[in-house]
Structure 1
């Protein structure tokens, strides 16, 4: 059977517990027509690459249900590991192979460098470097790959964003076109019109950073000495807009992937009902002294914040036409209480400066337009404000991680005469609501509410 290659950029735990699992399911069914090649833009996971290379790309996935039922499976779908080097030449070379028909990527929300108007943040150092010819971002690397693919007899390819960015395929496409325009590569823009598709997707599985005792547990249960295992919850979902270039794709529908005409309803539900409460619970749980998501979700205060936000504002904004959002909310909150996953608040609390504009701002704007005063949603950026105040004071119990954090600007905000006013006026965070008196008043009120809840 002829082999097609699925190149994945961003070889982290999520990819290995999600997309690689689906491709492995196809291989188990006897369809080995697709295999994965994978590598990274950043030099922060070479230990994983080296471990996987020594294991011929194979590793064990442990899944665990909220009731503690554990299952173990060897994943064999990653057949080529691409070592990192400063110019990313091996990754570019792989992307330029004609056998590569899909290039997918998980680079986190912050990795798309988009402001609240979905334009590139050109002042970001990594993006600045790429605009000058570098390859530190997804745009820089994809531009170089497409330049080479233009020389192929058939370089047509699907570019598949697998991150929690609303309308992710469209946003990535527009960001890439803007990047190409800024770098004078209009020939690639023209070529893309007939040779590239960028479907929207929705991905879902809670995948924490692997626990320290995971290798020992896997060896005890399976006898396998795995140096690069991953773990995740039992639940898994993948919804993809069925818009692969020339319809060249794995038979993903045979292994439970939903190929649909429009991802938007699923995407909106997942971002607003899962991703946003997840972050809110992490922020609140941390403020109340917890370190893990399951412990934080079991706090009545944190759970109520998440429940009220969905009930009062999300359901009103989205309606229940296609998905029962109330039922989905309850399933999600139950998933968060899984004590066996041991997902950390540190992981989930990350990238707040990207999450607020991408995931929370739309609900705020919609509710204001509906004539509401969305206190339940405003409580979420208020939580983040108090959370980052702790960061400013050096009192967080862990290092806060954020791809677009401007440390000097955030410290300056908290040292200003009126930090809440400065925060509420931040257009990058709040878009058209920034600086509006009614929004500032609501946010100020909610910051005080949060302070009372954690007192």
Structure 2
């Protein structure tokens, strides 16, 4: 195939999730004989150089291992990534690819924290990375896209789609609002108008549990396929992708490979974020507190599974009813997926980025419970677990290093070291929005933290 005639789906964010999810769907199209699209993959930061080098050596090809809850493994060589964009401080390869008229979609997976949004879902202009990019740097997606799209506008100005593939509610809209704010603050009026008029940002919902690749994947891949893969990736067998069908310059025929193209992604997005993402974090923080390593062992611990089940059943399902989805069935499927012992997903991976997950995944349910006159006892468990988790971090007693895109370590240590640390935590508007001024919520959180602190002292047996 002559790649120069293909449309290009440029992807920013070379992590495992993209390679197990979006790249898999485009690979399925190639398998069907539809070779009109391929992927060009790059990264904003220089933290994936080894992976990109390994993919370059393998001509973009790698093996995806999937595993069912019953332990059935499948191996598939993914071939949709045809161009690897090497990193340099100027992001020159990203800029060149983004300027190519064949590039019709720029998609990205930069994690929830990579959008730098406050609790009102607006860009936080005070964050050090955003400040740097407002001064011309390109540490964030916004700074990188400014360079790429400025060059594209100057060269030919062909329209394109900017596609958010992260776990962020209303992800297309919120990315777009953040980006337009960034361009206004940076004094880029011409680019601001061009982005408004020549790009779209559909909302999407993405789902496939994809742990960080562990050392035992490559030997299995070699044994099963004979391919000595230096960039394998693994994920669960389950996969889902729902996209609002609003592309500015055409799109792959994704409906032919099981993607749901819809007018509004909202019901799927709300169910995914509140039922799957929020309970995932609940399990990871709770499991960490009682000395567990793996998501599946924590999910099979009765007290922890009950926390997640009651949060969904008591507080989330009433908040999301009526829904076109069967929410009880979705809850049961999600908890079964988390129990999959073959995924080997770690509490460490899922525990990351809590400072953006609390306002994004948890606080809306807290607020809606109070609005309908219910006390969100089951939901309050999740920020209470996070507070106890943060106290362990503050005292240096977490069993692993904790990563959070929104972390200001000095400020957080000061808060957690204060005599009234829990009161300050409850009053943090960046986490709890309007509830930060609510005495009833503060009292509920205090009572919940006290109860869970006693529970977390004693590791519990795992039920099989």
* Range class of TM-score, shorter chain: over 0.9
CA distances 1:149-183 after superposition (whole Å, capped 9, x unpaired): 21344510000000001100000000000000001
| Number of equivalent positions | 454
Query: 1:337-416 alignment to 2 at 5 Å?
Result: 337-416=339-418
Name the counterpart of 1:434: 436
Is 1:155 the equivalent of 2:154? no
Distance 2:154 2:417 in 1: 54
Conservation of the 8 A alpha-carbon contact between 1:390 and 1:396: yes
From 167, 174, 177, the equivalent of 2:170 is 167
SS at match of 1:158: strand
Is 1:57 the equivalent of 2:78? no
- Specify every segment of 5 or more residues in structure 2 that has no aligned partner in the other structure, as ranges: 458-464
Distance 1:205 1:65 in 2: 12
Distance 1:48 1:394 in 2: 31
Is 1:89 the equivalent of 2:78? no
Name the counterpart of 1:333: 335
Structure 1, 408-417 or 391-400: larger mean CA deviation:
408-417
Distance 1:276 1:327 in 2: 17
From 173, 184, 191, the equivalent of 2:187 is 184
Query: 1:23-422 alignment to 2 at 5 Å?
Result: 23-246=26-249, 248-422=250-424
- Specify every segment of 5 or more residues in structure 1 that has no aligned partner in the other structure, as ranges: none
Name the counterpart of 2:461: none
Distance 2:266 2:323 in 1: 13
CA distances 1:67-93 after superposition (whole Å, capped 9, x unpaired): 100000000000000111111111111
Query: What TM-score results when the alignment is normalised by the length of structure 2?
Result: 0.97
Distance 1:151 1:227 in 2: 39
Conservation of the 8 A alpha-carbon contact between 2:267 and 2:323: no
Structure 1, 414-423 or 101-110: larger mean CA deviation:
414-423
Distance 2:196 2:223 in 1: 52
Name the counterpart of 2:8: 5
SS at match of 1:232: strand
Name the counterpart of 1:448: 450
SS at match of 2:154: coil
1:147 Cα deviation after fit: 1.0
Distance 1:192 1:209 in 2: 34
Conservation of the 8 A alpha-carbon contact between 2:353 and 2:405: yes
Query: What TM-score results when the alignment is normalised by the length of structure 1?
Result: 0.98
Moved over 2 A (4+): 151-154
1:410 Cα deviation after fit: 1.6
